Amino acid sequence: MIRRLNSNDPGFERALADLLAFETISDRLVAERVDTILQSVKADGDAALLKYSAEFDRLEVERVADLEVSKAELAAAHDRIEPAAREALTLAAARVRRYHEHQLAQSWSYTEADGTLLGQQVTAMERVGVYVPGGKASYPSSVLMNTIPAKVAGVDDVVMVVPAPGGELNPLVLAAAHIAGVDRVFKLGGAQAVAALAFGTETLPKVDKIVGPGNIYVATAKRAVFGTVAIDMIAGPSEILVVCDGKTDPDWLAMDLFSQAEHDELAQAIFIGWDAAFIDQVQAAMARLLPTLERAAIAGTALADRGALIQVRDQAEAIDLINRIAPEHLELSVEDPQAWLPSIRHAGAIFMGRHTAEALGDYCAGPNHVLPTSGTARFSSPLGVYDFQKRSSLIMCSPAGASSLGKCASVLARGESLEAHARSAEYRIRED
Amino acid sequence: MIRRLNSNDPGFERALADLLAFETISDRLVAERVDTILQSVKADGDAALLKYSAEFDRLEVERVADLEVSKAELAAAHDRIEPAAREALTLAAARVRRYHEHQLAQSWSYTEADGTLLGQQVTAMERVGVYVPGGKASYPSSVLMNTIPAKVAGVDDVVMVVPAPGGELNPLVLAAAHIAGVDRVFKLGGAQAVAALAFGTETLPKVDKIVGPGNIYVATAKRAVFGTVAIDMIAGPSEILVVCDGKTDPDWLAMDLFSQAEHDELAQAIFIGWDAAFIDQVQAAMARLLPTLERAAIAGTALADRGALIQVRDQAEAIDLINRIAPEHLELSVEDPQAWLPSIRHAGAIFMGRHTAEALGDYCAGPNHVLPTSGTARFSSPLGVYDFQKRSSLIMCSPAGASSLGKCASVLARGESLEAHARSAEYRIRED
């Protein structure tokens, strides 16, 4: 069911490259369809949204305003769901909020000896769109994780769009929107929802940034509107890399690997250890437990297609491999995980110690579950408050500062043949 | 030459919208050509680079290694340029470095009452590509501004590409690369240079992020490789918004406006004031000084096509307009600019006071000159150290923490029908 690799085998490098290969799908036909939808919404606004909602979501309404879910409906969903779910969502939201408050950047400045002030002013974006997938992948945790950082940053308006095929919505998603403080919700999905948020329509307000996962149409639309608005990273399939020193219950590790593999057939679960006998135990636990899973078919396919148990020589080689893989989720199921940290350069989230199941991070530990996938942890970060704040440089020159800097700027501007730049600086030079 | 607008006029809203309208050019023919180049470099590596360099840059070499500019050549250029230029570049680099050191983010963590540790580890990207345009827009200041934040962040390797048509390079650009600490330089440009950095070839190493301005081919290529690597914002034409209370020398203000307008015909220079007589003086100064500029033709076209002198009712309306325009460069040529700051929500860089010419920020004040254009200051920031750092979430649950969080995660995971997630969390629940 799951392949075994050994870093000592001659074919290991090739096998590893094959294992990690994942191409973002970029389909020309999809791109053309999305382009048509984007242009149509940009040109026709609400009318285009009504047409696409009827066509794709079987939702026939007279006005786009009829697609809005009122705050009262959100509150009603919150009151109606199971008390245990309501309590869990409330606890998770509070923990996510507390963690993200640590990420708030502050304005700063310093004054130089001649009185010149330099710094940065940090402000929040005004309005953000959150895309929430509909149907089976409609996750209330995703509403919390995408909305709370924006509200902590100080974003005035969070506008959520969620497709409602036939009008159906997940009450847990609406309850999560209520708890997270979403400002407006529209029953809209697909590329048309992205277009509405990016360009604005008569009814939907234009936003500054669009975040949240979606299918290939949504991802393609987000890439196309990048620049008109900001977007988050284009997400690939979820992955986990579990590293163990051989002293964690193999059943626990097997279930941690399954918790990624059950997401979808493209999800990736990799285990790394340096003790062959222990890897045998993990493999045996996986074989025994897999059939007991509700989503055994999905997890089994994911493990067979993209999973691996990798035997390395030692801890040093494990660390080298971690940094090459740059995993979305890294579980360090080892004795002293903190000792590993200085060596770990690329990972989305690091789950440390035998008790820290990755699933805790998906829901309620506090950190964000929107994480860089497919090796993009080399250059990107978990979604955070910093994604909804921005900075303005501050420069206030004293007369003395303007004079001395003006001399430097004049030389450089003339070196670039930008004479007006030079003369503008030279006006402020004082003859001493 | 430059239009006058008055916020009291009935047609003002329409005129303002026309003034600010700027569509990012997205040309299907260019996109197809770029796609061909990207695929070719991805498939054929060095061989494709040699072919395109011969075709586009008239550079016939045998190996891509022959396109590399050695560290000795950079040092030689540094020694050869005019002493005044060398001193100015060195001073500018030192000031840019000092300013950017204030942006370094630090790792953080906190421990909860039950012993659970949460935090973020901040690390630098490993390798970054800097695109430097060739020809007339080959600016040494751009080398400093794109490279220094990366080196301050702790990036190991900065790889610079710069087109060298016929083999010619600007010695000031090479000297700036030496001063900024660029690690490797290749004479490569266009979409093929972007492709080489994004995918790697036999000779060029794959990078994690590509920054730097370029023409439409470069911008289109960057958009296409977004996701494979990180990129900075797609830059539009440069703009300045000057606001004055009527007490700054009109000649200074005219030259500040020209210092944007001289960049290119699409650059935008806007003045806002609430004193009609003073606006007359600024307009008269512009009319008198424009013909004295070396780049009068370019500046004149830019001012006629995209410039404006706007009369508003008062300071409050000026602030409202600033936030609607979200300018790249904002010059507050007023008595107490710091009093304005809390009201300014969207601006790339804020130049405060009568002595702070925008040109100082282009070269040597310290802040970055790579700034969000075309209103994207609503959602993006100056290039900074934060563009080259990334974060990993840290989660280390105590046994008690794993137990209590496990109960919450279990409820939420089962609500999302993710059973393996739930069971993975449940393994760590202790029966008290």
Phi, psi at A212, each rounded to 5°? 115, 150
CB atoms within 10 A of CB B76: 14
User: Using CA atoms, how far apart are residues A5 and A11, in angstroms rounded to an integer?
Assistant: 9
Beta carbons of A118 and A112 less than 8 angstroms apart: yes
| A55 marked as binding residue | no
Q: Cα–Cα distances in Å, from A238 out to A91, A387, B55, B213?
A: 25, 21, 42, 33
- Output the CA angle A175-A179-A180, nearest 5 degrees: 115
Residues 185-204 of B with CB under 8 A from A: none
Residues 6 or more apart whose CB falls under 8 angstroms from that of A101 comprise A152, A385
User: Using CA atoms, how far apart are residues A203 and A193, in angstroms rounded to an integer?
Assistant: 12
SS3 state at B416: coil
Tell me whether residue B112 is exposed, middle or buried, using C-beta atoms within 10 angstroms of its C-beta: 0 to 12, 13 to 18, 19 or more.
Answer: middle
User: Using CA atoms, how far apart are residues A336 and A329, in angstroms rounded to an integer?
Assistant: 18
- Say yes or no to pLDDT of A432 above 70: no
Domain assignments of chain A as residue spans, ordered by start: 3-17+237-365, 28-231, 397-426
pLDDT of A236: 81
What confidence tier does A70 reach under pLDDT thresholds 50, 70, 90? very high
A108-111 and A117-124: which strand pairing?
Answer: antiparallel
A·B CB contacts under 8 A:
371
Q: Is A261–B420 a contact, with Cβ atoms under 8 angstroms apart?
A: yes
Residue in this structure with the two tokens 């007023």, named with its chain if needed: B334
- Say yes or no to pLDDT of A166 above 90: no
3-state DSSP of A240-309: EEEEECCCCCHHHHHHHHHHHHCCCCCCEEEEEECCHHHHHHHHHHHHHHHHHCCCHHHHHHHHHHHCEE
What's the pLDDT tens digit per position in A403-428? 999 999 999 999 999 999 999 999 99
Q: Which of B39-53, B124-138, B413-427 has the lowest mean pLDDT?
A: B124-138
Question: If you average pLDDT over residues A233-253, what whole number do you get?
Answer: 93
Q: Is B415–A85 a contact, with Cβ atoms under 8 angstroms apart?
A: yes
Residue in this structure with the two tokens 């006005």, named with its chain if needed: A63
Q: Which two tokens stand for residue B161?
A: 């590409």
Q: Do the two domains A3-17+237-365 and A28-231 of this chain adopt the same fold? A: yes
CB atoms within 10 A of CB B264: 16
Q: Does A255 touch chain B (CB under 8 A)?
A: yes
Residue in this structure with the two tokens 């919390």, named with its chain if needed: A144
Q: Which two tokens stand for residue B104?
A: 């370094």
What topology does CATH give the domain B28-231? Rossmann fold (3.40.50)
What confidence tier does A25 reach under pLDDT thresholds 50, 70, 90? low
Question: If you average pLDDT over residues A311-320, what whole number do you get?
Answer: 97
What confidence tier does B138 reach under pLDDT thresholds 50, 70, 90? confident
How would you label A400-430 residue by residue, b for 16+ Cβ within 10 Å and e otherwise? Answer: bbbbbbbbbbbbbbbbbebbbbbbbbbbbee
ipTM comes to 0.96
Question: If you average pLDDT over residues B23-32, what whole number do you get?
Answer: 76
What's the pLDDT tens digit per position in B246-305? 999 999 999 999 999 999 999 999 999 999 999 999 999 999 999 999 999 999 999 999
Within 8 A of B110 by CB-CB distance, chain A residues are 102
Q: Nearest chain B residue to A414 by CA: give it.
A: B85
Q: Does B390 touch chain A (CB under 8 A)?
A: yes
CB atoms within 10 A of CB B195: 28
pLDDT of B432: 65
Phi, psi at B314, each rounded to 5°? -160, -175
What's the pLDDT tens digit per position in A181-226? 999 999 999 999 999 999 999 999 999 999 999 888 999 999 889 8
Enumerate the β-bridge partners of residue B333.
B244
What's the pLDDT tens digit per position in B199-226? 999 999 999 999 999 888 999 999 889 8
Q: Does B232 touch chain A (CB under 8 A)?
A: no
E strands in B126-249: 127-131, 157-161, 184-186, 209-211, 230-231, 239-244
Give the residue among B28, B21, B378 at the shortest CA–CA distance from A224.
Answer: B28
- Say yes or no to pLDDT of A24 above 70: no
Q: Is A355–B399 a contact, with Cβ atoms under 8 angstroms apart?
A: yes
Beta carbons of B120 and B394 less than 8 angstroms apart: yes
Q: Does B214 touch chain A (CB under 8 A)?
A: no
Beta carbons of B203 and B64 less than 8 angstroms apart: yes
Residues 294-353 of B with CB under 8 A from A: 294-295, 299, 330, 337-338, 341, 344-353
Architecture of the structural domain at B3-17+237-365: 3-Layer(aba) Sandwich (3.40)
Phi, psi at A58, each rounded to 5°? 50, 40
Is A331 noted as a catalytic residue in this protein? no
Q: Is B424–A259 a contact, with Cβ atoms under 8 angstroms apart?
A: yes
Q: Which two tokens stand for residue A428?
A: 């402020």
SS3 state at B328: coil
